Amino acid sequence: MQQRTLGPLGPVSVLTLGGGGLGQLWGETTRAECVATVRAAADAGINLFDMAPRYGDGEAEEVVGEAFGGKLPDGAMLTTKCFVGSMAAADVPAHVRALLEASLKRLRVEAVDVFLLHSNIVPNNDPMSDSPEAPTRLTSHAVFAEQVRTTFLELVKEGKAKYWGITGIGHPDTIMQVLGEQPTPAIVQCIANPIDSAGSLTFTPGPRKPREIMATAKANGVGVMGIRAVQAGALTDAIDRALPADHAEVVDYNRAGGFRALAKELGMSAADLGHRYALSMQGVDTVVLGVKNREELLQCVAAAEAGPLSADVMARVEDSFS
C-alpha cells in the first residue's frame, strides 16, 4: 500500500484502520469478524491502527489486543486517546494516566505510538463550556496547556507514548492556536470530507475550517490524519443503522443526493468516492477508516489503490452539494 509521511512518525500507510467500526459504533458486527478485520488490514499493508476507549467502551482496543496478542506486525503503529472534558484541572493528570494505563492493558502493549486528546479544545470561558456536552467533550485551552499537554509530555518522557496529538474538531481558531504553540503536537486528526462536516460531533457553533487547520498543521510540521471521510455513513449509499430524522448524519445524508448520483455516474459506490476524495485532499497524510468487517475494509483498500481523483472530479464532488 502507498505510504505518506505522517509528521515525525515517518512513513505510514495512506489508510489507517480506525476503531469506530471495531467498537460497533457504525452498525452491528461480531468480535470474531472485527479481529479478522484487524488482521486483514495488516495483511493489506495498513500499518497504523487508531483506537480509543470510547469506541465501544474499550471494545475496539480489546479487539486489537486479541488480534495481535501483544505482538504487533513489523512496522505497525498504534494510537489511542483520552477524554478530559471540563473536569477539575487538578484531577487531569491522574485521570489521563489512568486512561492510558487501561488502554495499554486492553491493547496488550507497553506503549503506544501516539496518545491523543479526544476532547475538543475550546477558548477559555467559552459559552459552550456550560453545554451538556462539556463534561466529556469540551476542554478549555488553559486546562489543555497547563494540565493535558504537560501530562502528555511526561508520558512521552516516560516511554508510555512516543508522541502526542489532538483532535482537530473543537473550536477551529483554538485548534490552530495550539498547532502554532510550542511544543507542537505530532498529529492532528482533522475532518476530511467534501462538506467539511463533523456531523453529530459538532459541539461548537460556526464552520469547522478543516482545510485551514490542515494548512496550519503542515506549516508547523504536524501530521494530519483525515477523519469522517464518509461522515459516519452520511456519504455512503445507505446509512446502516437506525437514526432519527433530525440526526446530523441523516441531515447530511439527505444533502448528499447529488453526491450519490455522481458516484453512480462514475461507476463507484458513494463510500468509494468519499474515501478517494479524502485521500485526494491537500494536506491529508492518512485517512482513518471506520469499517466494521472485512468486506468494507477491502472496498476501502480497492478505492485507495484506484488512486487520487482528478481536479475536475474533485470540483464535481464539491459542486454536487450546491
Q: What is the pLDDT along the chain (322 residues), one digit of tens a residue?
A: 999 999 999 999 999 999 999 998 877 899 999 999 999 999 999 999 999 999 999 999 999 999 999 999 999 999 999 999 999 999 999 999 999 999 999 999 999 999 999 999 999 988 877 778 778 899 999 999 999 999 999 999 999 999 999 999 989 999 999 999 999 999 999 999 999 999 999 988 899 999 999 999 999 999 999 999 999 999 999 998 899 999 999 999 999 999 999 999 999 999 999 999 999 999 999 999 999 999 999 999 999 999 999 999 999 999 999 8
Cell numbers at 264, concatenated: 453512480
DSSP 162-216: EEEEEES-S-HHHHHHHHHSSSPPSEEEEE-STT---GGG--SSS---HHHHHHH
pLDDT value at residue 1: 95
Q: What is the pLDDT of residue 130?
A: 76
CA 308 to chain centre: 20
Burial class of residue 69 in the structure, from the number of CB atoms within 10 Å of its CB (0-12 exposed, 13-18 middle, 19+ buried): exposed
Predicted pLDDT of residue 171: 93
CA distance 275 to 286: 11
Q: What is the rounded distance in angstroms from the CA atom of residue 65 to the CA atom of residue 75?
A: 16
140 exposure class (CB count in 10 Å sphere: 0-12, 13-18, 19+): buried
Spatial neighbors of 189 by CB under 8 A, at least 6 apart, are 50, 116, 165, 166, 167, 168, 169, 224, 225, 226, 227, 288
98 grid coordinates: 489512568
In the three-class reduction of DSSP (H, G, I as helix; E, B as strand; rest coil), residue 319 is classed as helix
Q: Quick one: pLDDT at residue 136?
A: 84
Eight-class DSSP state of 148: I
**Terminal Cα distance for the chain, rounded:** 34
Q: What confidence score (pLDDT) does residue 25 get? A: 81
Find out whether the peptide bond into 183 is cis, omega within 30 degrees of 0: yes
8 A C-beta contact, residue 291 and residue 25 = no
Q: Measure Cα distances from 48 to 11, 97, 192, 222, 284 in Å.
A: 10, 23, 17, 16, 15
Name the residue with cell 476503531.
Answer: 19
For β-strands 48-50 and 187-191, DSSP reports them as unpaired
* pLDDT value of residue 135: 80
The fourth-level CATH superfamily of domain 3-319 is NADP-dependent oxidoreductase domain (3.20.20.100)
| Strand 15-18 with 11-13, pairing | unpaired
Nearest to 279, CA basis, from 249, 310, 254, 252: 310
The pTM of the full predicted model, rounded to 2 decimals, is: 0.96
| pLDDT score at 240 | 83
